[in-house]
Amino acid sequence: MNGAADLGGMMGFGRVVPEPEGEYFHADWERRALALTLAIAAAGRWNIDMSRHARESLPPAEYLGSSYYAIWVKGLERLLVAAGLVGADELEQRRVLRPGEPVRAWTADDAAAAMAAVVPYDRPVDTPARFAAGDAVRTRVLHPTGHTRLPRYARGKAGVVERVHGAHVLPDARAHGPDERPQWLYTVRFTGRELWGDAAAPDLGVTIEAWEGYLDPA
């Protein structure tokens, strides 16, 4: 969706100021926010794409006015309510109003093992890849109301396929239900000037991972 999370290439937000390497948290509550989000994921009520969409679909003013881990907490609250694990009235009053549903949560050891594991998202498909490395393509101009991994700055742009990755789960579908609808996945390279015009550095190149449904022959 064209939400506040899709900031790539937008002006008016100032320079990106990198934080010191290895500095992940600024307060203890941020550690707990990450731990809670990871731990309750073991309940199996949502997937990574649903989790991303819960955060990116926050109202723009709320998203831009919240810190990184505050966005995680707000996204988690949305997921808990949607899954029926917590009531909206309980969140509003910040107390338990009815018996909870027993769910499994990760321990610290479970979380460490899960983070270290490789989760495959490749899937078999019956159709051959539409494009090959070296093919000229153009991204479609899409404005979906749901989740997408095609950034706004790269829509309607001409590029070249660099690599074919095989077929993978389509996040646009999986963010909204169990239907994975796998598609072929490609690395596509664009010149900076194609994306941002003549003011871009002439040697600038940008690559994105693009599912086949995002692409047409150029």
Query: What is the rounded CA–CA span in Å between residue 177 and residue 173?
Result: 7
Both structure tokens of 158: 């001409």
Of residues 7 and 183, the one with the higher pLDDT is 183
In this prediction, residue 4 carries a pLDDT of 92
The mean pLDDT of 128-154, rounded to a whole number, is 96
Q: Which CATH architecture has domain 28-116?
A: Orthogonal Bundle (1.10)
Query: What is the rounded CA–CA span in Å between residue 105 and residue 80?
Result: 13
Q: Mean pLDDT score of the chain, rounded to an integer?
A: 94
Q: How far apart are the first and last CA of the chain?
A: 24
The mean pLDDT of 127-142, rounded to a whole number, is 98
pTM over 0.75: yes
Residue 136 clears pLDDT 90, i.e. is over it:
yes
In this prediction, residue 104 carries a pLDDT of 84
Assign 153 to helix, strand or coil: helix
The mean pLDDT of 154-177, rounded to a whole number, is 97
Of residues 112 and 56, the one with the higher pLDDT is 56
In this prediction, residue 67 carries a pLDDT of 94
E strands in 24-147: 136-139
- Cα–chain center distance at 19: 21
Nearest to 19 by CA among 71, 67, 64: 67
Residue 50 clears pLDDT 90, i.e. is over it:
yes
The mean pLDDT of 143-163, rounded to a whole number, is 96
Q: What's the sign of the alpha-carbon dihedral 72, 114, 6, 192?
A: positive
Q: How many CA atoms lie within 13 A of 191 on its CB side?
A: 11
* Total Cβ atoms within 10 A of residue 85: 15
The third-level CATH classification (topology) of the domain covering 136-217 is SH3 type barrels. (2.30.30)
Query: What is the rounded CA–CA span in Å between residue 92 and residue 202?
Result: 52
The mean pLDDT of 197-213, rounded to a whole number, is 96
In this prediction, residue 112 carries a pLDDT of 86
In this prediction, residue 193 carries a pLDDT of 97
Confidence of residue 115 (pLDDT cuts 50, 70, 90): confident
Assign 116 to helix, strand or coil: helix
The mean pLDDT of 143-153, rounded to a whole number, is 94
Nearest to 41 by CA among 67, 74, 76: 76
Assign 137 to helix, strand or coil: strand
In this prediction, residue 76 carries a pLDDT of 97
What residues does each domain of the chain span?
Answer: 28-116, 136-217
The mean pLDDT of 177-200, rounded to a whole number, is 96
pLDDT in tens, 20-29: 988 999 999 9
Q: Which helix (H) or strand (E) holds 49?
A: helix 48-56
